[in-house]
C-alpha cells in the first residue's frame, strides 16, 4: 500500500531533550516536506527536500533540522525542544518537485513539550 | 508572499442541506493550483478537490464543488446533501510550483443530525 509513515504518533517530552520524528515513504517520491499545524494558523511548512542531500528551509524552520540521506526517509530533528514547538506535525511527499503532483500526507505526530 | 485566508473558523449545517466554505488568497502568479483538504478527527489529510487556475471550469467531485473566481481570488467549497461523515476541519490550500502548499487557517464544519 502506498503510504507515508510517521513515527511516533504521539510524543511527550521535556524541554531541551533532543528528539527525532521519523518519516518514510514507499512511493519513490522525490519531494518531501514537513509541516506543523497550529490552531488558527493551518499548516505551515518547516523544511522541504527536492531530492537526496537537497534540503531547504520553509516558512518556520527555526529550532528544527532535517536530513535526506536516502530517498525514502526524511526525519525531523528537534535538537533542543521548547514548549512553543508543541504542535501537530505532518510529513508529506509527492512525485516531482518541479510540476504539481498530488501530495500524500502521513498520519501526523502530536508533540507536547513540557 | 502568498497568503490564504479562511474567514469562517466554524460553520454548521443540517444533515442533507448545503453549506459553502469560503477561501480567499493572494498571489501575483497567473498559474497555480488550489485545493480543499478535509481533516477528520483521525487527523488524516484527505484531498477533497483540486482546481487548476488556468481552467475556467469549476471542479466538481460528487457532492463537492468549487466556485473559483480568479479575478476576485476567491475559491469557495460547496458541499451538497451534507452527511454526518462530512464533519471535519477543512483547509484551503494554494501552490504555485515546487509543491510547497500554503494553507489557510481552517474551518471546522459541524453537521447536525
Averaged pLDDT score across all residues of chain A:
94
The confidence score (pLDDT) of residue B56 equals: 86
Q: Cα separation of A20 and A8, whole Å? A: 9
Q: Which chain A residues in 79-98 lie under 8 Å from chain B, judged by CB atoms?
A: 88, 90, 92, 94, 96-98
Average pLDDT over residues B27-52: 93
The confidence score (pLDDT) of residue B30 equals: 86
Q: Cα separation of B27 and B75, whole Å? A: 13
User: Which residue in the set B9, B43, B99 is minimally distant from A103, CB to CB?
Assistant: B99
Chain centroid to Cα B55, Å, comes to 17
The confidence score (pLDDT) of residue B42 equals: 92
Share of chain B above pLDDT 70, in %: 98
Share of chain B above pLDDT 90, in %: 86
* pLDDT score of B99 more than 70: no
Q: How many CA atoms lie within 13 A of B85 on its CB side?
A: 2
pLDDT tens figures, A56-83: 999 999 999 999 999 999 999 999 999 9
- Per CB-CB distance under 8 Å, the chain B contacts of A58 are 100
Burial class for B112, CB neighbours closer than 10 Å (0-12, 13-18, 19+): exposed
Q: Does A41 touch chain B (CB under 8 A)?
A: yes
pLDDT confidence tier of residue B39, bands split at 50, 70 and 90: very high
User: Which residue in the set B6, B33, B105 is minimally distant from A100, CB to CB?
Assistant: B33
The confidence score (pLDDT) of residue A99 equals: 67
- Measured CA angle at B20 (ends B15, B26), to 5 deg: 155
* pLDDT score of A46 more than 70: yes
DSSP state letter for A85: G
User: What would the grid cell of residue A100 be?
Assistant: 504539481
- Per CB-CB distance under 8 Å, the chain A contacts of B42 are 107
Amino acid at each position: 500500500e502506498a503510504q507515508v509513515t510517521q513515527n511516533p504518533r504521539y510524543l511527550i517530552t521535556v524541554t531541551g531533550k533532543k528528539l527525532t520524528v521519523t518519516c518514510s515513504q514507499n512511493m519513490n517520491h522525490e519531494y518531501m516536506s514537513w509541516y506543523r499545524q497550529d490552531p488558527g494558523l493551518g499548516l505551515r511548512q518547516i523544511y522541504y527536500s527536492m531530492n537526496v542531500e537537497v534540503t531547504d528551509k520553509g516558512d518556520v524552520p527555526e529550532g528544527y533540522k532535517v536530513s535526506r540521506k536516502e530517498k525514502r526517509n526524511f526525519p525531523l530533528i528537534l535538537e533542543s525542544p521548547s514548549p512553543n514547538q508543541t504542535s501537530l506535525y505532518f510529513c508529506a511527499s509527492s512525485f516531482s518537485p518541479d510540476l504539481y503532483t498530488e501530495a500524500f500526507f502521513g498520519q501526523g505526530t502530536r508533540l507536547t513539550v513540557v | 508572499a502568498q497568503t490564504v485566508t479562511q474567514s469562517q473558523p466554524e460553520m454548521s449545517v443540517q444533515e442533507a442541506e448545503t453549506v459553502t466554505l469560503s477561501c480567499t488568497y493572494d498571489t501575483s502568479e497567473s498559474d497555480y493550483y488550489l485545493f480543499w483538504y478535509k481533516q477528520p478527527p483521525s487527523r488524516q489529510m484527505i484531498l477533497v478537490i483540486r482546481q487548476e487556475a488556468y481552467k475556467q471550469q469549476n471542479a466538481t467531485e460528487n457532492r463537492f464543488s468549487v466556485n473559483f473566481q480568479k479575478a476576485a481570488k476567491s475559491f469557495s467549497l460547496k458541499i451538497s446533501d451534507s452527511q454526518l461523515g462530512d464533519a471535519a476541519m477543512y483547509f484551503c490550500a494554494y501552490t504555485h510550483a515546487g509543491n510547497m502548499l500554503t494553507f489557510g487557517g481552517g474551518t471546522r464544519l459541524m453537521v447536525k443530525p
